[in-house]
């Protein structure tokens, strides 16, 4: 009788232990993969803040736009951060360099933002440094902070990995890109990237077209999303910067509707290399490391708990045997 009672208690204890254990590991996983929603929010605002906010853009040109004459675009577009600072965040030193169709001569935000605090960036966006660079009448405070947070923590410098002449990804893994694309993107965009068609630089584009003509826009939107859609994004999937480039490399091989030798539309000059500072640019990567860290801590804990439970089981069996003898 007594030993049966002990056995029941032991089993109960074991079941209870397993429940606690699975809960703990689950939590550790969730904690590790939990993402910071200000990052994709800020990135959407950077792309097109009036679309992200669902408001009408201001009338006329952004006042700062009038300081240049090389880029003759006008109106709503001149209010987008990306029109002046670029999809690669490097303004005149990146893809929108002199000779490109998008050249304004305006500086990039990368790597300058690495030298600023998020408060200082909010001040820049509120016209406290340059009164004409004031978005505070249009963008709510919380969103200015999200923008600053995105700029401070999540910019990726892909310079070393994209050929400045051909726009092809250098050193990527196309097979990995194909696997990622097919598991996450194909259900909406189609296996050939052509199911959803959108407008790019006045043309009808598929993902293949965009990947060849503007790899930086492709990467920004793949990593952080595009305003007005509930797209699956690399950031939420915990993709590293390299995984994003692997997908880009694969999509560059999909049908694009372009002539094989057609040269990129953004110009031919080689951009000057920009230093890659250690921390912020690798943020997506460190995010994933943190996730794995949490996971392994969880597994470590599970192992200890498992050994402990086996020990408890042994003690129970030993006690039952002792009783029988």
Site residues (CB under 6 A) for ligand HEC? 46, 49, 62, 64-65, 78-79, 81, 83-85, 106-107, 109, 112-113, 116, 121, 124-125, 130, 133, 135, 147, 151, 184-185, 187-189, 196, 198, 200, 207, 210, 217-218, 221-222, 226, 229, 231-232, 234, 247
Q: Which is nearer to ligand HEC, 218 or 298 (CB)?
A: 218
Q: Which is nearer to ligand HEC, 210 or 294 (CB)?
A: 210
The alpha carbons of the chain give a radius of gyration, in whole angstroms, of 26
- The CB-of-259 to ligand HEC minimum distance in angstroms stands at 21
- The CB-of-158 to ligand HEC minimum distance in angstroms stands at 14
Q: Which is nearer to ligand HEC, 247 or 288 (CB)?
A: 247
- The CB-of-20 to ligand HEC minimum distance in angstroms stands at 36
- The CB-of-50 to ligand HEC minimum distance in angstroms stands at 10
CA distance 68 to 227: 28
Q: Which is nearer to ligand HEC, 28 or 124 (CB)?
A: 124
CA distance 123 to 82: 19
- The CB-of-227 to ligand HEC minimum distance in angstroms stands at 9
Do residues 313 and 10 lie in contact, with contact meaning Cβ atoms separated by under 8 Å? Answer: yes
Residues 6+ apart with CB under 8 A from 193: 185, 206, 207, 208, 211, 251, 254, 255
Q: Could you tell me if residue 2 is left (phi over 0), alpha (psi between -120 and 50 degrees) or otherwise beta?
A: alpha
Q: Which is nearer to ligand HEC, 147 or 212 (CB)?
A: 147
Do residues 227 and 80 lie in contact, with contact meaning Cβ atoms separated by under 8 Å? Answer: no
- The CB-of-206 to ligand HEC minimum distance in angstroms stands at 9
Do residues 107 and 88 lie in contact, with contact meaning Cβ atoms separated by under 8 Å? Answer: no
- The CB-of-184 to ligand HEC minimum distance in angstroms stands at 4
- The CB-of-241 to ligand HEC minimum distance in angstroms stands at 14
Q: Which is nearer to ligand HEC, 223 or 271 (CB)?
A: 223
Residue 88 half-sphere exposure, CB side, CA atoms within 13 Å? 26
Q: Which is nearer to ligand HEC, 248 or 294 (CB)?
A: 248
Can you list the pairs that 50-58 forms with residues at least 24 positions away whose Cβ atoms lie under 8 Å?
Answer: 50/76, 50/79, 50/138, 51/227, 51/228, 52/143, 52/227, 53/138, 53/139, 53/140, 53/143, 55/138, 58/138
Q: Which is nearer to ligand HEC, 28 or 224 (CB)?
A: 224
Q: How many C-beta atoms lie closer than 10 Å to residue 25's C-beta? A: 17
Give how far Cα 14 sits from Cα of 5, 59, 248, 271, 294, Å. 14, 68, 48, 63, 25
Which tokens is 58 given?
A: 């201001």
């Amino acid at each position: 009788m007594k030993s049966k009672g002990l056995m029941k208690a032991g089993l109960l204890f074991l079941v209870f232990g397993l429940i606690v254990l699975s809960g703990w590991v689950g939590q550790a996983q969730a904690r590790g993969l939990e993402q910071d929603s200000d990052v994709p929010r800020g990135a959407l605002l950077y792309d097109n803040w009036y679309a992200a906010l669902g408001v009408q853009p201001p009338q006329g040109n952004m006042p700062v736009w009038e300081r240049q004459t090389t880029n003759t675009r006008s109106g709503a577009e001149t209010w987008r951060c990306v029109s002046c600072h670029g999809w690669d965040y490097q303004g005149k030193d990146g893809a929108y360099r002199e000779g490109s169709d998008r050249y304004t001569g305006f500086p990039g935000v990368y790597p300058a933002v690495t030298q600023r605090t998020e408060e200082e960036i909010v001040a820049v966006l509120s016209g406290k440094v340059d009164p004409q660079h004031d978005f505070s009448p249009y963008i709510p405070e919380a969103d200015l902070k999200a923008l600053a947070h995105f700029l401070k923590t999540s910019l990726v410098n892909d310079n070393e990995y994209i050929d400045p002449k051909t726009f092809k990804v250098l050193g990527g893994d196309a097979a990995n890109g194909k696997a990622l694309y097919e598991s996450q993107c194909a259900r909406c965009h189609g296996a050939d990237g052509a199911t959803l068609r959108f407008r790019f630089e006045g043309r009808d584009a598929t993902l293949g077209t965009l990947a060849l003509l503007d790899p930086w826009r492709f990467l920004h939107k793949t990593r952080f999303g595009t305003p007005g859609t509930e797209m699956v994004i690399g950031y939420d999937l915990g993709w590293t910067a390299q995984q994003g480039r692997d997908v880009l490399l694969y999509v560059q091989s999909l049908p694009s509707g372009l002539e094989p030798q057609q040269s990129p539309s953004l110009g031919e000059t080689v951009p000057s290399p920009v230093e890659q500072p250690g921390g912020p640019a690798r943020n997506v990567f460190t995010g994933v490391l943190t996730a794995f860290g949490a996971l392994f801590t969880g597994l470590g804990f599970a192992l200890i708990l498992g050994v402990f439970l086996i020990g408890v089981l042994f003690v129970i069996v030993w006690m039952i045997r002792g009783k029988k003898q």
